[in-house]
Structure formats: structure tokens, C-alpha cells
């Protein structure tokens, strides 16, 4: 989707609850929607995705103004939210639905995603191989309403979850206090 300077970006970074707040309220970000993509079942539910039978990953679809918040900045922010060396999920969340991926919407996004992944691998910031996959965008299904902007609706539980899952400590260890 392109509307003027507005484009879509789709990232799977483990639990989608933790992938909304870093992008939300950034300049040029119009919306961050939690949902499911990459699977074979139309309109999956949270319960179906968690059952690991649909092939979907929890993801966020971001509508952004590419002139205000370029795709390169989105990629940089994405990498800072995940453990890109974990092929089995993210932090306490295990399974395919919690694995990481960049879903590109055009050749330009693909090129930038591949370049950013290579740069991260070559940076030696992480000891292991960067296992985050880069795939073409597939149908995106918004998650149930109670998952949308969970960090705002249930801020206390969200903060406990982010800390308890190990994500918060990991981000601080590898990236410092940046978002």
C-alpha cells in the first residue's frame, strides 16, 4: 500500500505486544497494527496461531510516512527490539509464531533489509549468526482488538511481561537505554 509518502512495513519480532510501543508515536508513524502473517490459514485467531498449526508469525504492520521516518530508520529500530540470533522464538516465547522476520513490500525494502541484516552480521555485535529471515509480504490479518496497543491498554501487565520475558534486559545489554 502506498498513499502519497505513506507506505507499509511488516516486522515479526516475537510477541507483538512488545513490537508496538517502540514504533508507536514516532514522527511519521500513522499506525502500528498487531496481527498475523506468513501462514496458510485465512483470518486466523490468536488461539489458532498459538497452536502452531497455521504457520503464521505474530507481527506488526506499520503505516509510515517515508519522507518523515524512512524505512532504514524502521529497520534500525526493529533490530533493536529482538534477539536476531534466536531461530526458535523470542525470549520466553518459543515456537514458529514467535520467530523473527522482515516482510518486504517491494524490491527497495528487500534491498535495504538484506543490507541491514548483513551490516548487523558484520558488526560482530552478536556472537551468533543473524537468523532473522527476509520474506516477501504476505496477507496480514489484524489481531483481535484486545491485542491492539496492548502496552497502553494494559500498561502494568505489559511492563511486567516485557521485563519478565527477558526482552528488556536483552535490549539494555546490547543497545543501552535506546528505544
User: What is the full DSSP assignment across 55-120?
Assistant: --EEEEEEEEETTTS-HHHHHHHHHTTS-TT-TTEETTEESGGG-EEEEESSHHHHHHHHHHHHHH
Cβ atoms of 35 and 141 closer than 8 Å: yes
What's the angle, vertex CA 90, arms to CA 84 and CA 96, rounded to 5? 100
Is 15 a known active-site residue? yes
Q: How many alpha carbons fall within 13 Å on the CB side of residue 148?
A: 10
- Name the active-site residue from 7, 11, 14, 15: 15
CB atoms within 10 A of CB 175: 13
Judging by DSSP bridges, how do beta strands 29-37 and 6-13 pair with one another?
A: unpaired
Q: Whose CA is closest to 14, among 172, 178, 166?
A: 166
In three-state secondary structure terms, 41 is: coil
Residues noted as catalytic: 15
Amino acid at each position: 500500500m502506498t498513499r502519497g509518502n505513506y507506505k507499509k512495513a511488516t516486522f515479526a519480532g516475537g510477541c507483538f505486544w512488545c513490537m508496538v510501543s517502540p514504533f508507536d508515536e514516532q514522527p511519521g508513524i500513522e499506525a502500528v497494527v498487531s496481527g498475523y502473517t506468513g501462514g496458510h490459514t485465512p483470518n486466523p485467531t490468536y488461539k489458532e496461531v498459538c497452536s502452531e498449526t497455521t504457520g503464521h508469525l505474530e507481527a506488526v504492520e506499520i503505516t509510515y510516512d517515508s519522507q518523515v521516518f524512512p524505512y532504514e530508520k524502521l529497520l534500525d529500530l526493529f533490530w533493536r527490539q529482538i534477539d536476531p540470533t534466536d531461530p526458535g522464538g523470542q525470549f520466553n516465547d518459543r515456537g514458529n509464531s514467535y520467530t523473527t522476520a522482515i516482510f518486504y513490500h517491494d524490491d527497495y525494502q528487500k534491498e535495504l533489509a538484506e543490507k541491514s541484516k548483513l551490516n548487523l552480521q558484520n558488526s560482530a555485535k552478536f556472537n551468533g549468526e543473524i537468523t532473522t529471515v527476509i520474506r516477501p509480504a504476505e496477507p496480514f490479518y489484524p489481531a483481535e482488538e484486545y491485542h491492539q496497543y496492548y502496552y497502553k491498554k494494559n500498561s502494568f501487565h505489559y511492563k511486567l511481561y516485557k521485563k519478565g520475558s527477558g526482552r528488556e534486559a536483552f535490549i539494555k545489554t546490547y543497545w543501552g537505554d535506546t528505544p
